[in-house]
Amino acid sequence: MASSKIGFISTRFAGTDGVSLESAKWAQVLWDMDRHVSFWYAGRLDRAPEASWCVPEAYFTHPANVWINQRVLGRRTRSRVVTRRIRELADFLKDSLYDFMERFDLDLLIPQNVLTIPMHIPLGLAVTELIAETGIPSIAHHHDFYWERVRFQGTSIDDYLDSAFPPRLGSIQHVVINQGQREELAWRKGIPAVLLPNVFDFEQPPPQIDHYSSDLRQEIGLEPDDVMILQPTRIVPRKGIEHAIKMVQMLGDPRYKLVISHDAGDEGFDYFHVLSELAHEAGVDIRFISTRIGEVRQIDVEGRKIYTLWDLYPHADFVTYFSTYEGFGNALLEAIYFKIPLAINRYEIFARDIEPLGLRIPTIDNLVTRRVVEDVRQLIEDRAYRQQTVDHNYSIASRFFSYAVARRKLNALISNFLGD
């Protein structure tokens, strides 16, 4: 297949959110396949400047978009002024998308979640109209649908949700990350979709501890014989971090330290304060280290090293992932990739799509039991059992969640448009 110029579109391609991470993986797979070249359109970008088209108004936190969302979410009607502002911003963004297409002479578009969840209603409308007007081949990659989020229930934008999230257009092929989404999309919209779960480069060995990261444990205050139990997520209620605190309490060993990599604030700080109180009452040593973890290695204003999440994983002895809901679960694949044992809450997508594959992972159903705690203890303390378990999980994940899976499915999708 001849190489193509492909335009990725979203509100943000920057940092370690799921959309940014998965889009970068797709771009790498597309390049490795047939030297397809990727270009990036968003309101916030950390991609190569020569391949980027940054339009600040496309970012979901831009004041113009925040103003709109405040007046349509949780309301039954919207005013003519709000409709006019939506239309004006959508037209402005559509013009910028035409500029993006023309500047890089694009052959194909990949809207990333922008036609899925209405974080930015005008941008979703703009992308929909652009595709309808040009007929450009497009692959819509869906991560989080609006019907999966409570905040998008009961709004005054049902007309936009029906027409653009996602749209029914003949030039769009749809991709979802779990089987439940595939069924819901067919039922709600009559739209067929290809199932392509999140993937990881299991063909390449994970990064190891190097000179820069060798002092990480010391820098976050751990002693040489401490056991790092890592919670590699943001501090939001659906991550179920209270179960991690309970698990460490039941393990009953002061050497076990619970380390949380990311910060709070996305949904307020109440949950952070609740966790701090729970840990104090349970006698659990909990470390919040988000100020030492960044997107890139650097030195902060106080002269301290800033590490990446990839620096942190090789130091971890165990991972907790007790989420009540995930669209897929990147931290699950990350732990398996770094060959770290983990315990998990049986959130719906895990129970339906992942657990039947045969991974060996201690699981809970919103309740930490003594049986699970003893299994965790064995995985931490029994080196032979630990190694056998992580090797088994790596082998399973390599079969079902590798770049090879993405190559096969993306190759078929592009062939549908552009031919062999």
Pairwise pLDDT comparison (17 vs 85), residue with the higher score? 85
Distance between CA atoms of 154 and 170, rounded to whole angstroms? 29
Distance between CA atoms of 2 and 100, rounded to whole angstroms? 22
Flag whether pLDDT at 121 surpasses 70.
yes
Flag whether pLDDT at 64 surpasses 90.
yes
Res 17: pLDDT? 82
Q: What is the pLDDT of residues 133-171, one digit of tens each?
A: 999 999 999 999 999 988 898 899 999 999 999 999 999
Other Cβ atoms less than 10 A from the Cβ of 123: the count is 33
Burial of 156 (0-12, 13-18, 19+ CB in 10 A): middle
Partners of 227 in beta bridges:
256
Q: How confident is the model at residue 1 (pLDDT cuts 50, 70, 90)?
A: low
CB 331 within 8 A of CB 313: no
Res 7: pLDDT? 98
Q: 351: which DSSP letter?
A: I
Mean pLDDT for 76-86 is 97
Flag whether pLDDT at 12 surpasses 90.
yes
Mean pLDDT for 98-112 is 98
Report CA-CA distances (Å) from 305 to 212, 259, 291, 292, 299.
Answer: 9, 17, 10, 7, 5
Q: Which residue from 349, 410, 46 is spatially nearest to 180, judged by alpha carbons?
A: 349
Other Cβ atoms less than 10 A from the Cβ of 27: the count is 21
CB 122 within 8 A of CB 152: no
Contacts (Cβ under 8 Å, ≥6 apart) of 42: 9, 10, 11, 12, 13, 14, 52, 54, 55, 58, 59
Give 47-101 as a DSSP string: S-GGGEEE-GGGSTTSHHHHHHHHHHBT-S---HHHHHHHHHHHHHHHHHHHHHH
* Across 18-22, 309-313, 380-384, 386-390, least confident range: 18-22
Flag whether pLDDT at 234 surpasses 60.
yes
Res 269: pLDDT? 87
Domains 5-199+403-418 and 216-400 share a fold: yes
Q: How confident is the model at residue 347 (pLDDT cuts 50, 70, 90)?
A: very high
Flag whether pLDDT at 400 surpasses 70.
yes
3 state DSSP class of 4: coil
- Which residue shows structure tokens 């993306």? 410
Give the pairing type, strands 305-306 and 298-299. Answer: antiparallel
Does CATH number 3.40.1710.10 belong to domain 216-400?
A: no
Distance between CA atoms of 384 and 202, rounded to whole angstroms? 22
Mean pLDDT for 216-227 is 96
Q: 76: which DSSP letter?
A: S
Report CA-CA distances (Å) from 164 to 20, 88, 106, 241.
Answer: 21, 16, 22, 35
Average per-residue pLDDT in the chain? 95
Flag whether pLDDT at 266 surpasses 80.
no
- CATH code for 5-199+403-418? 3.40.50.2000
CB 53 within 8 A of CB 100: yes
Considering the chain, what percentage of its residues have pLDDT values greater than 70? 99
Q: What is the pLDDT of residues 246-256, one digit of tens each?
A: 999 999 999 99
3 state DSSP class of 359: coil
3 state DSSP class of 1: coil
Q: Which residue from 363, 4, 410 is spatially nearest to 173, judged by alpha carbons?
A: 410
- Which residue shows structure tokens 């999140």? 198
Domain ranges of the chain: 5-199+403-418, 216-400
Q: What tokens appear for 99 in the block?
A: 């500029």
Q: Which residue from 95, 148, 83 is spatially nearest to 119, judged by alpha carbons?
A: 148
Other Cβ atoms less than 10 A from the Cβ of 86: the count is 21
Answer positive or negative: Cα dihedral of 364, 263, 13, 191.
positive
Distance between CA atoms of 368 and 366, rounded to whole angstroms? 7
Res 264: pLDDT? 82
Q: What tokens appear for 240 in the block?
A: 């179920």
